[in-house]
């Protein structure tokens, strides 16, 4: 009986937290946190790409985001890669004079 009660309490805590009479949905908090992290990563990667351009006169000419991340990391413009690097889409344009960088939140 105690194990069932413990499981029920743990399940309720996982779904909602009550703070000073206000119920907080943990799923909403987690989703908002993920959104903030993804936007921060996008900003940081954009900044690294722009600094790369200032130093080299062109944006990374990688054919995909994995190659772009490798180029930025090898050149020390990024120290670490985002955990969800596969969710980013990168495409160089106009012989490295422009680019597209997008984050796809539908990907893992």
DSSP string, 7-37: HHHHHHHHHEEEETTEEEEHHHHHHHHHHHH
Under the banding of pLDDT at 50, 70 and 90, the label for residue 1 is very low
Write out pLDDT tens, residues 42-52: 999 999 999 99
Going by C-alpha positions, the residue among 90, 6, 4, 9 that lies closest to residue 46 is 90
Q: Where are the chain's structural domains?
A: 2-103
Q: Decide the pairing of beta strands 98-103 and 88-93.
A: antiparallel
**pLDDT 10s digits, 93-104:** 999 999 999 988
Residue 73, both tokens: 């990391």
Stretch 23-35: mean pLDDT, rounded?
Answer: 74
What is the Cβ-side half-sphere exposure of residue 22, based on CA atoms within 13 angstroms? Answer: 4
């Amino acid at each position: 009986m105690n194990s069932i009660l413990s499981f029920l309490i743990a399940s309720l805590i996982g779904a909602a937290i009550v703070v000073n009479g206000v119920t907080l949905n943990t799923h909403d908090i987690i989703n908002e946190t993920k959104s903030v992290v993804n936007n921060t990563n996008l900003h940081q990667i954009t900044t690294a790409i722009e600094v790369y351009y200032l130093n080299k006169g062109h944006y990374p000419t990688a054919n995909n985001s994995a190659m772009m991340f490798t180029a930025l990391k090898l050149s020390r413009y990024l120290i670490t890669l985002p955990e969800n690097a596969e969710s980013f889409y990168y495409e160089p344009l106009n012989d490295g004079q422009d680019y597209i960088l997008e984050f796809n939140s539908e990907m893992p």
